[in-house]
Amino acid sequence: MIAIFKKELWAYFGNWSAWLILAAFSLIGTLFLFFFDNDFNLFFIGTASLQSYFVLVPWLLMFIIPALAMKTLAEEEQNSTLRWLFSQPLKISDIILGKFFSVFLVGILCLLPSLIYFYTVYILGIPEGNIDLGMTFGSYLGLILLIASFSALGILASSWSKNQIMAYLSGVFLCFILYFGIQQLASYKLLGGADYFLQNLGFYQHYIGFSRGLVDSKDLAYFLLVIGLSLYLSKFFVEKKK
């Protein structure tokens, strides 16, 4: 697993792909939070809070994480190097986990510029430091779990796809449906009492709990279940190609 992890990280950082993604993510976040005239702008909100950042970031990650994950397995099959991997003394699970953790790590690195945002809000608060630390750190935990879930879904999409374009589109679709689509469908209240259970099938309802500073074991278990199931299905699809 470690060998695959290092190989994937070198593939990201050995060229400009990861650096460009990190730079683009940082630039977009900065423009929305400090310069653009929109509901996410921290100066327009008037409170010492990063909640607008935690609302914005999942939408950015929804497109960035599948872009990172699309090549992990689809490119291997497209370039006929997947058979070479099969011939190595590696378990399928090692291949899946190595690629998953590499995507996950790059996703986590995307959050590093937000520490500057946090410091800025902390300093600008009246009085200084007037920021809800429990809510902020809970939101960060929710984002980390969301990145892991998006990464696992991206790996899953790449495992069943034969080319990177299909892997990317499938990954974005899965992330969108699970984060926003299910929640939006439940909001129409078409199923009566079943809408509550429908809401809990999606990411949003569980992520929003963390963004309020509420770390619930049920929400944590939900994300871990999604990650585990996605990686298991990825292993299943890769084994079918062996």
> Burial, 69: exposed, middle or buried (Cβ in 10 Å; 0-12, 13-18, 19+)?
buried
Q: Report d(CA 107, CA 61) in Å as an integer.
A: 8
pLDDT in tens, the chain (242 residues): 888 898 888 888 888 888 888 999 999 988 988 888 888 887 777 666 788 899 999 999 999 999 999 988 888 877 777 777 777 788 899 999 999 999 999 999 999 989 988 888 888 777 766 777 888 899 999 999 999 999 999 999 999 988 899 999 999 999 999 999 888 887 777 666 676 777 888 899 899 888 877 888 899 999 999 999 999 999 999 988 77
**Residue in 111, 22, 124 with CA at minimum distance from that of residue 67:** 22
Residue pair 100/4 in contact (Cβ under 8 Å)? The answer is no
Q: How far is Cα of residue 10 from the mean position of the Cα atoms in its chain?
A: 20
Residue 233 confidence (pLDDT): 96
C-beta neighbour count of 25 within 10 angstroms: 23
Residue 190 confidence (pLDDT): 67
Residue 129 confidence (pLDDT): 66
Residue 225 confidence (pLDDT): 96
What is the C-alpha radius of gyration for the chain, rounded to an integer number of angstroms?
19
Residue 192 confidence (pLDDT): 66
Residue pair 75/218 in contact (Cβ under 8 Å)? The answer is no
